[in-house]
Structure 1
Amino acid sequence: MRLDVSPTPDRLDAELDALQVRLPDYLRHARRLPDAPGLPHYRLHVRTADGEHYVYVHDPVTGRLAGCTVFNRLVEIDKRLDPYVRSPHSRYRPRDQRRGLASWIYGHMLASGVCLLSGARQSPAAHALWRALGARFPLTHAQLRRRQLHDLGTSVSPAQLDALETRLLLCGAGWNATRLAGLCALP
């Protein structure tokens, strides 16, 4: 897993502006999430399509989309894990970063029993978020090979961490790496 993602503020704003144009259509099929503690002025909406979950964060004060998190299905893992494991990807405007939005959204999903597998690359801020969530939910390193997850444990060598096959796995409520192993060959 590489810690080398660094989107520019202009790129984030442009992506979210483009998404905001399509947002009214998406919100027709969305439901409102509870207000995030400490962030009552944001409105969070979630919709599910093809097994993927989309959380849109709207800032009614500015009238803009503050950001979004997508919990993607993983085509590269064993299909028996599909109902239980998602890979989150978040984009938030610079002014809306570091307010706890992604932390609350990820925590909400983990509390509902969904396990989260990181991508092969993360930004340093995303990596810090995963580490912080690891204080509340089981966190382990996993390697993705031949559609199987292999538990690497809670600490790995720098070479293992730098491998693109290495990911972080946050286990949702009721889950741990051993229980996931019962679904498929997770050594």
Structure 2
Amino acid sequence: MTASTFCLHLPGHATATKAQSSPGLRGRWAQWLTELRIDVDLSGRDIQREFDALYDRIRTNHRTRDAMQPLTLHLRGLVFRLREADGEYFVYAIDPLRNRIVAYTVFNRLVEVDRRTDRHLRAPHTKVAHGYRRMGIATAIYRWWLDSGRCLMTGARQSAGAHGLWMALARDYELAAVRIDATKRVQQLQMPPPPGFFDALDTRLVLVGRDCSLADFTQPVACNGR
């Protein structure tokens, strides 16, 4: 694989959907969300070995290899591949000079939500190898997803780094707090939520993609959660 194999470019930030909030509101968001569950640690030392084993499996499995499509991203000489399987999307960042995967994002389906909501939301999870962090890889991938007109929801847990990324993206995309109810529907919360509300595992954050609307997959709920 060589760098010339892929002629890719990163979509301009001009396509981003602007958040429906002022700088002051973003500041209040930061205060409201201090209770959000941030306890995931994805900084394991064996990430690169995991990626190398994954790359070997891809190279030796022609069906998986053939299913991977070039992704229109270009970031610091890296190339990106996209694979879809059973409604989940897998993005691989590859260093062509070293011939190895250096970052990986999966956009998971959410078993917690109903079929109607499933059409709109995916939960992203990213791992980045040491030496490739703070390059904006996850930011570029998440922007590509959101600019493609799709939305993101947090999982039940977030790493501190992932939470920081979501807050940064909230400058350009609408950020909302939601709750998944007992019928697997997503309820949009009035803000600010009551103290301790984010202690519950059914409360999440959503980033709204370009040309999307929360009304497409949410219903309003009172701020007391009833």
**Which residue, 114, 119, 122 being the options, matches 1:83?**
119
Q: TM-score, structure 2 length as denominator?
A: 0.74
CA deviation digits over 1:11-65, x for unaligned, max 9? 32333233222222333211101233xx241010101111111101101122211
Corresponding residue number in structure 2 for 1:105: 141
Do the aligned partners of residues 186 and 49 (structure 1) sit closer, same or farther apart at CA in structure 2, a change above 3 Å counting? farther
Q: TM-score, structure 1 length as denominator?
A: 0.88
Distance 2:191 2:106 in 1: 26
- Contact kept in structure 2, 1:141 and 1:167, CA below 8 Å: yes
Do the aligned partners of residues 157 and 164 (structure 1) sit closer, same or farther apart at CA in structure 2, a change above 3 Å counting? same
List runs of 5+ in structure 2 lacking aligned partners: 1-35, 222-226
Do the aligned partners of residues 4 and 162 (structure 1) sit closer, same or farther apart at CA in structure 2, a change above 3 Å counting? same
Identity among equivalent pairs (%): 36
**Which residue, 40, 44, 67 being the options, matches 1:9?**
44
- Contact kept in structure 2, 1:9 and 1:94, CA below 8 Å: no
Corresponding position: 1:48 with 2:98:
no
Corresponding residue number in structure 1 for 2:25: none
**Which residue, 133, 149, 159 being the options, matches 2:196?**
159
Equivalent runs, 1:20-99 vs 2, <5 Å: 20-24=55-59, 25=61, 26-36=64-74, 39-99=75-135
CA RMSD of aligned residues (A): 1.8
- Contact kept in structure 1, 2:116 and 2:217, CA below 8 Å: no
Corresponding position: 1:176 with 2:213:
yes
Distance 1:87 1:104 in 2: 16
Distance 1:160 1:18 in 2: 41
Count of matched residue pairs? 182
List runs of 5+ in structure 1 lacking aligned partners: none
Distance 2:212 2:141 in 1: 18
**Which residue, 179, 187, 202 being the options, matches 1:150?**
187
Please say which of residues 157-166 and 91-100 is displaced more in the overlay: 157-166
Paired residue secondary structure (2:167) = helix
